[in-house]
Amino acid sequence: MDNNSKKYPYSLDLASSLIAAAFLLAFMYITQSVLVPLLFSILISISLFPLARFLERLRLGKAFAAVLSVLIAIAIIWAIGWFIVHQTIIIGKDASAITAKVVSVLERAQTWVEESFGIERTEMMDQLREQGNKLAANAGSVVTATFGSIGNMVAGVILVPLFSFFLLYYRDFFREFFFRAFKSVPHTKVDTTLNKIYDVVQSYLLGLITVMGIVAILNTAGLMLMGIEYAWFFGTLASLLMLLPYIGIAIGSILPALFALAVKDNAWYAVGVVAWFQVVQFLEGNIITPNIVGSKVSINPLMAMIAILLGGMLFGLSGLILALPLTATIKVLFDAIPSMEAFGFLIGEPEKELLKRNSTQVLLMKWGVVRKPKSTKKVEVDLKVENETGPETVTMTYKEVHESEVLPKDQDETDTSAKS
């Protein structure tokens, strides 16, 4: 009896993997009402784990430490929400004055458009009226979507704290589940992979919170220097929008820019707000985040943007927030599976050698596609011929190989036949 396992073609394995991935994505989309709160709970429980361990060392008990950690997280989130709502109410008290200035700005904009492009105000009002009718026609679907989002939000407010508590309280129970589920894999490898996932996600979350604090201070400082009122509110709000990677700060600059356009007499204040926020975004992406988060969350920008787009298509706004930590977790899993190691390499940051000017040559030599140079030194040949009987012409052909040569496929067979 032949006990050898049957090997399938690579194309069949690839097709089965793609079909399985498609079914998995469909399952995630169908169950997102439960899956999204669960994923947020996992992120929150990972970020609260050091606090829970600290409370357990004080001999408070595992259950009480988990409950207290979740309550502290709820208090922090509630304080941030109260600050935003309170500041919004204060700004709303000056709504009449702000509205008058906004109307005057719109009047100046209409005059500029009329003088520059020759479009009369009646035409602009007709366009606005037409767009208003379209919005009114779609009001039913908008209201339905809004109430659906509110329902999901309420469900999340209830489910996320419960899920977070049980994830903290049952963490060793879940770890044993992974040991039982992957019995054929060495237990040390399973434990190392779980610890690495924890380190990557925690580094991302704690780093994100630290970066958000620094960005809030920078945003607020710039707005204060420009004399924009409610600087702390706008600076903090823009930093919280960093939960939307790459686009959060840019979106957060729109509201203070519009506010500056409404309350200031000069439009350059709005331009200055947008410019300062872009400077802060540049500092965040190139200096602050790399030095704080470090190399633990190594996802190249191209894969990060693709993950964000796919996350938005799958889960909407929640998918934009969950995209990067999920991608970092998937990379750790791919690195731990030999057959998926190449895809983990694709998600990660490229090596510095692959970004240099001669990276193609180095890469081809690394994988044996071309030969290494025989000599890296320049050779100079000086030939002098003296002949007393008469002039004589001497021709010499010299070839020195400095660049790598492409290895022919039958090089070894040619050398063997030549020797024989």
Residue type, 284: E
DSSP string, 196-236: HHHHHHHHHHHHHHHHHHHHHHHHHHHHHHTT-SSHHHHHH
C-alpha to C-alpha distance for 170 and 49, rounded to whole angstroms: 12
Say whether pLDDT at 394 is over 60. Answer: no
pTM over 0.75: no
- Asked which of 193-197, 260-264, 346-350 is least confident by mean pLDDT, the reply is 260-264
C-alpha to C-alpha distance for 37 and 147, rounded to whole angstroms: 18
The model's pLDDT over 196-229, given as tens digits with 9 standing for 90+, comes to 999 888 888 888 888 888 988 999 998 888 888 8
Distances in Å between the Cα of 133 and the Cα atoms of 126, 142, 146 are 11, 14, 19
Percent of the chain with pLDDT over 90: 15
Supply 233's token pair. Answer: 């509110």
Residue-averaged pLDDT of the chain: 77
Secondary structure (3-state) at 357: coil
Nearest to 81 by CA among 220, 237, 200, 223: 237
Nearest to 306 by CA among 336, 347, 335, 343: 347
The model's pLDDT over 5-58, given as tens digits with 9 standing for 90+, comes to 566 676 777 778 778 888 888 898 888 888 889 999 999 999 999 999 999 999
Secondary structure (3-state) at 337: coil
Residues 6+ apart with CB under 8 A from 139: none
